[in-house]
A and B are shown apart, each in its own frame.
Chain A
Amino acid sequence: MSTAVAESKDAHDVHQHNKPTGIKRWLFTTNHKDIGTLYLWFSFLMFLIGGSFAMVIRLELFQPGMQIIEPHFFNQMTTMHGVVMVFGAVMPAFVGLANWMIPLMIGAPDMALPRMNNWSFWILPVAFIIMLSSMFMPGGGPAFGWTFYAPLSTTYSADSTALFVFSMHIMGMSSIMGAINVIVTIVNMRAPGMNYMKMPMFVWTWLITAFLLIAVMPVLAGVVTMVLTDKFFGTSFFSAAGGGDPVLFQHLFWFFGHPEVYIMILPSFGIISAIIPTFARKPLFGYSSMVYATASIAGLSFLVWAHHMFTTGMPTFALLFFMYMTMLIAVPTGVKVFNWITTMWRGSMTFEVPMLFAIAFVVLFTIGGLSGIMLGVTPVDYQYHDTYFVIAHFHYVLVTGAVFSIMAAAYYWVPKWSGVMFDEGLGKLHFWCSLISVNILFFPMHFVGLAGMPRRYPDYALQFADLNAIISVGGFLFGLSQLIFLVVMVKCAMKKGEPAPAKPWEGAEGLEWTVPSPAPYHTFDTPPEVK
């Protein structure tokens, strides 16, 4: 053991010099920072691809009538948009942030399982190459929505479903390996003195998220396998003709799907809980209640899945149970919002780009949360269900929630990653363009939804025309605004900008700010002491 420690002291320089260069560095890397960078760029690429699918959707919906594409291709676009954004953009972005930041935040030299870390990243591009190339198969790619309800995805789907299933398996494996790595790292590799209740909120939220991933990803793997055997091997899990039940599919899918929703928002809570105290120059209010609230949200997430299925014809008792449980989630979520606002209260705030995104997150995520309560009320959900009201709701929590928090995180930590400050002017331009366009895009969706326009429609009745035109314009503007973000981040990656100090934000706390910027290839070879 002592030799290992002695070696690692000068391993710093040795590794710096022996580091492979070019493609090999990235292909074979076991370094948490390299892998984090890979995840983040990959998710950005997927964000742009998934976004371009959304642009096709909005172009077709700009006016009533079929103008640009056929309904079958439209369904492929909505499906791929969902799959790419959920599994390709949002989840890998959080894993990238975890890779970069968790070892730095807990004073560990790397992730606990570095080779598995490499593997869990590199199977992801393979999964998405399979998934995206399935669109070029005869019959086209998956066209049954990202929720792939049976029997549309079994008896009635194209042959490319096999590729869809296989790539979902690979994505699931990647997520499970990533989650195991996070848990093992946090449990075993915290610096001396850092007990659980001293961990930064981002670490806490990721620890809980990782347990959610391990709990539900196998359910997803099971349900896609059942789809595969129903379609190709004559089983009847989801077919009444053979003794199965199509609604069983929905129960299984949403037993995965609802915790999945929280997988995509809990790390956001961690990010926002890091950024607001920094720029309010005041410690996070109610740290321990934040931890408990996160844990209760995670626990409740297993008891609400059927609120996605109020119209499937469940017994009244079940409808009531899931309505009450869904409403209950508002309580811990409310606690979080109140804590953030109280953290801001009587602080000394400045409004750099990460803080702007964090404030926008709190406001817009709350709007998404409130429409979530409305959706949870079963009798009125009979009206809202599967209309654009639902689309508005989950884009407020996923785009202005999860995606805004990822952008906030990127602006907050990019000085640490790259060693240069980002272009503040362009960053602010990106923020204001995104904020305005995202609301032009998603807010009117509440109205078309309430007026009764169902989702996943390639064409619609004339009374929805004006609002859809506005929504499309908002969509194009939001899409274009993200190119500003690309420019800002590419400039940082190319080291163009003011050199960043070790702690670029005056009010920032935490171990990650004790190492130089950019963070050296190897950090915390000797663990820091946490008091």
Chain B
Amino acid sequence: MIVKPKSLLGAVAAVLYTPNSFANNEVRINLTPGISDMSQKVYDLHMLVFYICVVVAVGVFSVMLVSIIRHRKSRGRKPATFHENVKVEIVWTIIPFLILIAMAVPATITLLELDNTDDSELSIVVTGSQWRWHYNYLDYDVQFQSILATPNEQIYGRLPKGENYLHEVDRPLVLPTNTKVRFLITSEDVIHSWFVPEFAIKRDANPGYINESWTNIKEPGIYRGSCAELCGQGHAFMPIVVIAKEPADFDIWIRSEEQRLAAEAEQEEKLLAMEMSKDDLMELGRNIFLSQCSACHQPNGQGIPGVFPRLAGEGISVTDKQAHINIVVNGSSGTAMQSFKNSLSMSELAAVITYERNAWGNDTGDLVQAADIFNFIQGEE
């Protein structure tokens, strides 16, 4: 099913008439009990507080309803004149107080347990940036970033939406089950918030500071979460996917991942000596640009006036090559432009800079090779 809204009217019509292609999704209306002891405790506490609130509401509203039905003028009621009773006032101050204590005690116990990150067996640094998550396994040589995998065509209705629409990433976080995993959460730019309902974890990622949280997953499976703190226009588009594996499977995975990343680094070394053709650079650069840069600078390089600079036909993209390399490698402090030195490989950096200097009519003809990036970084050090 393909919908191509041609005008506002068409768009409205598309909104109103696109049939529900997602009827197979179950509608959940309550918290999840989750998959760890802590998330189960949080769920139990939620239900306890909820039931207390329901009982209070039913009690209060039924008294009110009786009064509304019986004490009305149309039934010839004469109004009573009482308007004060200190004893009653004291009673209905004390009873709610006691009910609150009944909630506060289990809440305190659960909170103390939730905030205790001692004795963790695996530590992972979770770094938010606009608009992706970066995971670093502190105990292993493994780190990677995790980006939304839902294509733009699905978001803009040119392709039917998949089952895990906006809840899918290119590289999920992989965790072992039955292990106390500690998350060290931080950010590179604005505040994000790492939220996985099944773990009962939501913790803000504050730039320049580190927050802690932990989980101990009981069952293997795929768990999905989202960014929960407004972080700009890509806020809804930086999901979290966690795959939990048995510890033995996790070990296999993490070893193979270490090898793969080491091999990639080796390959990178070789690429330094190699020249890539313009077509290869442009092809790779286009992919990198669309996944990493286009959220701000827009797929057509036009940027957003006043917020994100335009790359097409102006600025350092068509003039100073060294300045261009510098801003992509190091970012620009005090602005939203982050450093890509750690998140992209040298050949990827070279490709995306080449792409920006030659796409959208920029046609500078400049080729940037991985070796140029290498030399630039060496020159800095």
A residues contacting B by CB (< 8 A) are: 59, 62-68, 70-72, 74-75, 137-140, 143-145, 149, 151-152, 155-160, 239-241, 245-247, 280-289, 311-313, 316, 319-320, 323-324, 327-328, 330-331, 334-335, 337-338, 341-351, 359, 362-363, 366-367, 370-371, 373-374, 377-380, 382-383, 385-387, 447, 450-452, 454-463, 465-467, 507
Contact = CB atoms under 8 A, between A and B. Distances in A.
Give me the 5 closest cross-chain CB pairs, A-B, nearest first.
A240-B208, A139-B306, A138-B306, A313-B211, A447-B29
Interface string B42-85: 10011001100100110011011001100111100111111111
A381 B223 CA distance: 20
B71 A280 contact: yes
Contacts of A323: 104, 107-108, 111
B230 A456 contact: yes
Q: Which among B5, B193, B212 has the greatest number of chain A C-beta atoms within 10 A?
A: B193
Interface of B: 5, 8, 11-12, 14-15, 18, 20, 22, 25-32, 41-42, 45-46, 49-50, 53, 56-57, 60-61, 63-64, 67-68, 71-74, 77-85, 88-89, 92-93, 96-97, 100, 103-104, 107-108, 110-112, 114-115, 130, 154-157, 161, 163-167, 189-191, 193, 195, 197, 200-204, 206-209, 211-212, 224-237, 304-307, 333-336
A336 B74 CA distance: 27
B49 A316 contact: no
A463 B26 contact: yes
Given A65-B155, A350-B73, A341 B60 contact: yes
A378 B77 contact: no
Given A144-B230, A151-B189, A382-B200, A346 B79 contact: yes
A344 B156 CA distance: 54
B235 A379 contact: no
Contacts of B88: 342
A230 to B, nearest CB: 10
A151 B190 contact: yes
Contacts of B84: 285-288
A289 B89 contact: yes
Contacts, number: 329
> For A140, A347, A380, which residue has the most chain B Cβ atoms within 10 angstroms?
A380
Contacts of A59: 12, 15
A463 B49 contact: no
B261 to A, nearest CB: 29
19 contacts: A66-B156, A68-B8, A75-B233, A139-B307, A140-B307, A156-B232, A311-B193, A324-B104, A334-B96, A347-B79, A347-B80, A351-B72, A374-B53, A378-B111, A379-B111, A379-B200, A386-B229, A456-B235, A465-B22
A359 to B, nearest CB: 7
Given A350-B74, A373-B49, A466 B335 contact: no
B185 to A, nearest CB: 8
A489 B228 CA distance: 41
A67 B306 contact: no
A313 B161 contact: no
A380 B156 contact: no
A263 B178 CA distance: 49
A498 B170 CA distance: 69
Given A59-B15, A387-B228, A286 B83 contact: yes
Nearest to A334: B96
Given A151-B191, A324-B104, A379 B42 contact: yes
A341 B73 contact: no
B25 A246 contact: no
B197 A383 contact: yes
Contact of B56 (A370, A380, A463): A370
A65 to B, nearest CB: 5
B39 to A, nearest CB: 9
Given A71-B235, A348-B77, A311 B203 contact: yes
B195 A454 contact: yes
Contact of B157 (A67, A71, A145, A157): A67
Nearest to A147: B230
Nearest to A386: B228
A264 B180 CA distance: 45
Contacts of B204: 311-313
Contacts of B96: 330-331, 334
B259 to A, nearest CB: 34
Contacts of B107: 323, 377-380
B334 to A, nearest CB: 6
A374 B46 contact: yes
Nearest to A249: B191
B317 to A, nearest CB: 19
Given A313-B209, A463-B26, A379 B202 contact: no
A273 to B, nearest CB: 12
Nearest to A282: B79
Contacts of A157: 307
Contacts of B203: 311, 313, 382
Contacts of B161: 64-65, 462
A145 B236 CA distance: 14
B83 A285 contact: yes
A149 to B, nearest CB: 6
A509 B16 CA distance: 52
Given A382-B202, A383-B202, A459-B166, A344 B92 contact: no
A460 B166 CA distance: 7
A379 B46 CA distance: 9
Given A62-B15, A344-B71, A239 B208 contact: yes
A319 B111 contact: yes
Contact of B165 (A64, A285, A383, A450): A64
Nearest to A280: B79
Contact of A327 (B81, B100, B166): B100
B315 to A, nearest CB: 16
Contacts of B200: 379, 382-383
